[in-house]
Structure 1
Amino acid sequence: MLQSHLDAMHVCCDEVQTELDKANQGTRYLLEHAEGLRQQRATTTVQQSLIHVFLARFTLTESELRALTSRDVPVGPELFAAMDKTERIRADCRALLSGEAGEGTQAGLDIMEYTSQHLEAGYAKLHKWLTFEARGFAKDVLEVSATVREAVARLKSRPEQLSEVLSILGTTRSTSILNLFLDALTRGGPNGLPRPIELHAHDPIRYIGDMLAWLHQAMAGEREFLESLFGTRSDDESQRRRVGEVHALSRHKRVRTGVDGIVGGVVSDRDRVKKLLDRDLEGCGRPLKIRVQQTIKSQESPIMAYQISTLIHFYKVTMERTVGEDALMSTVLGEIMQHAYEVFFETLYAQGRSLLRFIQPPAAALSAPTQLRDVLSTLREIMTVYASSLLDADSATPPPSSREVEFRPVLDAALDPALDMCARMAEMRAAEWDRSVFWVNVDEAVLSALEPFAFAQERRETVQRDEGEHVELLTTKHYGHLVAECGLEPILLALRTKGRPL
């Protein structure tokens, strides 16, 4: 009985095993197919993730595209971020293009073309916006926003577009500064304060000084504006600069280029700053030159002419320390200074010619003539102006030799005709004694005028030697006269010839 049950169970188990083998045989294909589908799904998931990462890295979002191309999105951080991402995409594409042919090359070319169009659209948007902003810099008080500074920095990679913007900016600022200068000359400040500069035209020193001071202040403000625009102020320059100290901009030698600053190589922002400074202030050069030259021509006094020349010389040196010797305004001031010194020396030459026109004998007292004292009084005033000038303010102890050489032409032009007049006057005296006494008085008057000034040391020594010769001659003459009057001449002669063989 038990055996029969066991046999039946074996039969059932065999049947189940047979059915199971049939089921496994029938579903094997499905299982293998499902496993293949699972592997394909995993591979597809990885590829999808890679595609998402690729697209996120090598494509722009809708907001970024709008920032680059749409006028509705203002120029600002959103546009700059989109441009930075575009530049980064292009840099990554170069890695794709550097691979073997067929491995990302086509994708890299497509992405480069895609990003190039949108990047150029972004630069065009920057260019149009900066052009509009450049026309708005026509006011007196100028402030450069961080957005404008960043836009200018980015547009440097497009020299042609930057050149156009800077050209518009230069025209705008030149017109604005010229109008402000003319207003300062004729209308004055708001509500009439400060008063118009031309109200002081009767006072040449104040008139010219006010014009030069206004231009120097305008140039300093314009330089600060342009340095802020290009971001050229270094850490040490951002600190307070001492008065009269040479500015870093004046030490920078400009490359002779256009406003864009690119000819045959990369030019720094300082070249652009110096070019724009010249462009901004070129309109003021002509009205300044005309007014100063008219004022100089009307001067007949050598003292006033020299004061004007020294004042212009001071501002020329100051301007060179600020913007350099090759700046346009430095050149204009150099031409005005040259003209001022020419007028000054012409007044000295005219004074000398007037002295030699009418020669009269010396006075009975043989004192220094009045004409010489007038010349020495004028010369003393001129020397005082030179001694107190600020032309050597950058040097605590300027070498006396340099000041002496610099002032020598003035000293010669003023003093030589007067001494020539005295020489002709002395020749009108027949007695040598009278001529020597007259010359001693003349030399003493000259020495008295030159004594306080160290830079006249060489000329003073020359006059002292001349006076010594005349004093020696007078001493010899007086000694001989006394010996003859006292009857001692035969005795002295006998003493000198004593002991000599006959």
Structure 2
Amino acid sequence: MDEYCAVRRQLLVRAFIDALTAGGRGGTPRPIELHAHDPLRYVGDMLAWLHQATPSEREALQSLLRDCRPAETPTRIDTALASVCEAVCRPLRARLEQVLLGSPGAVVLHKVSGLIQFYRSTIGQVVPDGPLPATLDELQALSQRAALQALQAQAARLCERVTPPAADLAPAAAVLSALSLLREALDGGGVVESRRAQVEQTAACLLEPLMAAVLESAAALPARDCAVYLLNCLYRLHSTLSLYEYMEPRLESLQAQLDAQLEALTSEQASSVVQSLGLTHIYAGLPSPPPGPLSQQPGLGEAAVGQFLQRLDVFLASPDMLTLPQLRLLASSAHRLTVQRRSAEVVGVIYEKLYTAVHEPSNGYAEPDKLMPRTPDQLKALLVV
């Protein structure tokens, strides 16, 4: 058996080298090394050749040992096959390390890592133990480290180019490039068993520095511009990550940040609407009115209430007239509608408090039904709250 394995080792490594350098008989298939300039094709062809060669070696051993005792045959076959396949480990390692050290780029390295992992799983079904599976494990770990390092370096270069937004408050070009890089890296593949870990590592390499760069670029913006810009960036991030599995924790974190920015923008929009409608003084006097009838207090008389209601009628006829200009720059129409709905709710709450106060006899408003004929429920229906 030792002599058989020694002969098969020589034949297998010679066949592998011939496939790399000379190709098949008559030049078909062509030499694998003709594609050395294309890392994915080069690595894929080498591993595919091994994937085809190893079952033939196992079948030959099964034929050789068919007359041996059945209880010993599987162990003998596995041991002999591991010995035979050891021959290709050195030339395979040398060429794959050359590819990995050639800096082909983060995305290519991720795809190469996925290829090695796939063929390690496939070849491992034929050659379960020995130097060849161990070599593939080491090469896969090396390729994964190289891919993550390349991704970190590329992400750092992109994040350095994240600049404050233009007038449209859209994500900067560097942010979009980083998201494109993330998509390509996550599309690199891999076997199911370790897909979660790969996705989490890849996302962490890029998202954490990207978010830090986005927040830094937004720090000097006015409050309204900052909220809209961050909403646009977070929306792009959320939309990208939602396409991939195992992203639930990061999506929850992004959603929390989206909700916080929506709350901040809603506060800005509601404050603007309240001020434009002349509700600021009315709202301030309602929670804790001074002694005496409310209608006798400055800014809370019937004339002030009437002016508010006139402005409110104009607002109801054309709600967009009081929309913040920045709100029109939101990338998501759902976000825009959310801010408008929540700010309308604020107006509805203040109106309800004012309506209750006006209809309270002790506040001294004459003919409250004529002054405020529209009920809070009617107003909410008009506001589409």
- Normalization by structure 1: what TM-score? 0.55
Q: Structure 2: where are the runs of 5+ without partners?
A: 294-385
Deviations 1:252-297 (A, max 9, x none): xxxxxxxxxxxxxxx9332222221122121210111111111122
Instruction: Provide the rounded CA distance (Å) in 2 between the counterparts of 1:405 and 1:234.
Output: 43
Find the partner of 2:285 among 494, 498, 501.
494
Change (3 A) 1:472 1:209: same
* Maintained 8 Å contact 2:159/2:175: no
Structure 2: which amino acid aligns with 1:460? Answer: L
The reply to whether residue 480 of structure 1 matches residue 284 of structure 2 is no
Deviations 1:295-315 (A, max 9, x none): 122234222111111011000
Give the superposition deviation at 1:384.
Answer: 2.8
* Maintained 8 Å contact 1:368/1:438: yes
Find the partner of 1:368 among 140, 158, 171.
171
Aligned residue for 1:417, secondary structure, equals: helix
Give the equivalent residue in structure 2 for 1:377: 180
Aligned residue for 2:247, secondary structure, equals: helix
Deviations 1:476-495 (A, max 9, x none): 12211221233211101112
Pairing of 1:219-368 with structure 2 (within 5 A)? 219-231=54-66, 268-324=72-128, 326-358=129-161, 360-368=163-171
Find the partner of 2:215 among 416, 420, 423.
423
Q: Structure 1: where are the runs of 5+ without partners?
A: 1-165, 236-266, 393-397
Change (3 A) 1:365 1:234: farther
Instruction: Provide the rounded CA distance (Å) in 2 between the counterparts of 1:439 and 1:482.
Output: 22
Give the superposition deviation at 1:209.
Answer: 0.8
The reply to whether residue 203 of structure 1 matches residue 38 of structure 2 is yes
Instruction: Provide the rounded CA distance (Å) in 1 between the counterparts of 2:97 and 2:247.
Output: 30
Instruction: Provide the rounded CA distance (Å) in 2 between the counterparts of 1:296 and 1:356.
Output: 24
Give the equivalent residue in structure 1 for 2:235: 444
* Maintained 8 Å contact 1:173/1:280: yes
* Maintained 8 Å contact 1:216/1:319: yes
Instruction: Provide the rounded CA distance (Å) in 2 between the counterparts of 1:419 and 1:175.
Output: 54
* Maintained 8 Å contact 2:162/2:172: no
Give the equivalent residue in structure 2 for 1:172: 7
Pairing of 1:138-217 with structure 2 (within 5 A)? 166-217=1-52
Give the equivalent residue in structure 1 for 2:202: 410
Aligned residue for 1:374, secondary structure, equals: helix
Instruction: Provide the rounded CA distance (Å) in 2 between the counterparts of 1:420 and 1:234.
Output: 65
* Maintained 8 Å contact 1:170/1:276: yes
Instruction: Provide the rounded CA distance (Å) in 2 between the counterparts of 1:232 and 1:376.
Output: 60
Instruction: Provide the rounded CA distance (Å) in 2 between the counterparts of 1:435 and 1:376.
Output: 20
Instruction: Provide the rounded CA distance (Å) in 1 between the counterparts of 2:258 and 2:67.
Output: 62
Change (3 A) 1:458 1:333: same
Instruction: Provide the rounded CA distance (Å) in 1 between the counterparts of 2:249 and 2:242.
Output: 11
Instruction: Provide the rounded CA distance (Å) in 2 between the counterparts of 1:234 and 1:436.
Output: 76
Query: How many equivalent residue pairs?
Result: 293
Give the equivalent residue in structure 2 for 1:21: none
Deviations 1:97-127 (A, max 9, x none): xxxxxxxxxxxxxxxxxxxxxxxxxxxxxxx
Give the equivalent residue in structure 1 for 2:262: 471
Deviations 1:359-397 (A, max 9, x none): 5323232211111100111211222333xx5x23xxxxx
Instruction: Provide the rounded CA distance (Å) in 2 between the counterparts of 1:434 and 1:352.
Output: 25
Deviations 1:216-252 (A, max 9, x none): 21111101111221128999xxxxxxxxxxxxxxxxx
* Maintained 8 Å contact 1:174/1:280: yes
Instruction: Provide the rounded CA distance (Å) in 1 between the counterparts of 2:22 and 2:29.
Output: 9
* Maintained 8 Å contact 1:227/1:233: no
Aligned residue for 1:490, secondary structure, equals: helix
Deviations 1:330-369 (A, max 9, x none): 1110111111111100111102222344553232322111
Instruction: Provide the rounded CA distance (Å) in 1 between the counterparts of 2:234 and 2:261.
Output: 10
* Maintained 8 Å contact 2:158/2:177: no
Change (3 A) 1:499 1:317: farther
Q: Please report the RMSD computed on the Cα atoms of aligned residues, expressed in angstroms.
A: 2.5
Structure 2: which amino acid aligns with 1:210? Answer: D
Aligned residue for 1:231, secondary structure, equals: coil
Give the equivalent residue in structure 2 for 1:258: none
* Maintained 8 Å contact 1:380/1:449: yes
* Maintained 8 Å contact 2:5/2:83: yes
Instruction: Provide the rounded CA distance (Å) in 2 between the counterparts of 1:233 and 1:319.
Output: 25
* Maintained 8 Å contact 1:188/1:194: yes
Structure 2: which amino acid aligns with 1:197? Answer: I
Instruction: Provide the rounded CA distance (Å) in 2 between the counterparts of 1:501 and 1:343.
Output: 77
Instruction: Provide the rounded CA distance (Å) in 1 between the counterparts of 2:162 and 2:174.
Output: 10
The reply to whether residue 435 of structure 1 matches residue 226 of structure 2 is yes
* Maintained 8 Å contact 2:164/2:172: no
Give the superposition deviation at 1:405.
Answer: 4.5
Give the superposition deviation at 1:413.
Answer: 0.8
Give the superposition deviation at 1:211.
Answer: 0.5
